[in-house]
Every structure is written in C-alpha cells, then in structure tokens.
C-alpha cells in the first residue's frame, strides 16, 4: 500500500509541476518561444489479447491512468518521453503497470510544434506487477495521429493511437486501439 501511495504522490507532483513552473516563469519567457512541452492525458482504449488467449480476449479500459509527458522541441520533429501509471485492485489482489515510452512527433504540412496535425511513433516497455506473481516486462510499439489546438495559456491535444504489445514470457501479445485527450503547458 505504501508503494501505491508513494506512486500516486509522485504522479500528482509530476502533474502539478508544469503548471507551477509556468506561473513562475511566464513573465520571464524569452521572445523566441518555448523549448519544452509538459502535458498530462486521459484516455480510453479497446484491447485484444492475441497469442495464448483461450476465452474472453477483449478488454476495454477507460479513465485516468496517469499519463505524464515531456516534449523536447526539435527543428523537424519532437522527442517525447512519456510515463503511464495504472493500478487495478479487485478481489484482494492488484495489478500495477508502469510504462515508460519514447515517441517521436512529426508535424504535418503547415503545422508547427505548437499547433496543428502531427504523426507519432514510438517504443515502450511495460513493467507489470501482480499480487502473487513475479514482475514481467513487455515491449510495445505504437503509432498515432493527433492535433494540437492552441489556447491562450496552454494547448489541448487530441490523439488516436494503436499500440502493439509483443509476446514476452507468460505475457501474450496483443494490441490496443484508443484515444487520448490532454493539456500541454509550455516552458
């Protein structure tokens, strides 16, 4: 329980940090624009378990797995590390999933790093811990398309994604198709 509480406190701090930093640095922002994007997303996804599934192979996940991201703005594309936390407790047991990803975002057409359409692709690893079992790791590949909608103090981001989870040990392969909606703050 202490690990879960600690993880939740870290996640809340990571979500609050960009907003607090923006309040401190807004007046001191250079004329050239922001260098980094900080954001948090909510999502919903349909999943299907591939190899090793004998019965009910579909899942639906919706809600607030804490999804925190930092985007580093480049000349032709952005690099975006992303951390996702998910905790499920049921019937006295639990499943904790921690997923660090690295994505590359490419603005399309006349879009920029701050507004418009983008394509994204990346790789990640999920560290899965369940009560009564040893931890497992699972590599995944993902891609998607999204848009940034500029607002005066931040941006909204809407994104559709596809994620393929590779077979790993006792974890079967599978895929997720979903959407994310989030806010971005610039520093």
Give the residue among 107, 87, 108 at the shortest CA–CA distance from 97: 87
Q: What is the pLDDT along the chain (187 residues), one digit of tens a residue?
A: 445 444 444 444 444 444 444 444 443 344 456 688 999 998 888 888 877 666 667 776 665 556 899 999 988 899 999 998 888 787 788 888 889 999 999 999 999 888 999 999 999 999 999 888 888 999 999 999 999 999 988 899 999 999 999 988 888 888 889 999 999 988 6
Q: Which of 144, 137, 135, 147 is nearest to 176 (CA)?
A: 144
Q: How far apart are CA 52 and CA 173, in angstroms?
A: 8
Parallel/antiparallel/unpaired status of strands 155-165 and 58-73: unpaired
Instruction: Return the number of other C-beta atoms located less than 10 Å from residue 11's C-beta.
Output: 20
Q: In the chain, where does DSSP find H-type helix?
A: 2-25
């Amino acid at each position: 329980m202490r690990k879960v509480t600690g993880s939740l406190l870290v996640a809340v701090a990571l979500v609050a940090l960009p907003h607090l930093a923006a309040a401190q640095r807004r007046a001191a922002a250079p004329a050239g624009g922001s260098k980094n994007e900080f954001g948090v997303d909510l999502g919903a996804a349909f999943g299907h378990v591939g190899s090793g599934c004998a019965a009910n192979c579909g899942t639906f996940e919706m809600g607030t797995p804490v999804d925190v991201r930092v985007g580093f703005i480049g000349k032709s594309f952005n690099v975006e590390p992303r951390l996702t936390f998910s905790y499920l407790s049921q019937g006295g047991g639990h499943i904790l999933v921690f997923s660090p990803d690295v994505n590359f975002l490419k603005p399309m057409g006349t879009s920029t790093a701050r507004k418009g359409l983008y394509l994204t692709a990346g790789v990640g690893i999920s560290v899965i811990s369940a009560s009564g079992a040893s931890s497992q790791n699972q590599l995944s590949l993902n891609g998607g398309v999204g848009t940034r909608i500029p607002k005066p103090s931040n941006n909204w981001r809407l994104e559709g994604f596809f994620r393929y989870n590779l077979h790993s040990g006792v974890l079967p392969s599978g895929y997720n198709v979903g959407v994310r909606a989030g806010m971005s703050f610039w520093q």
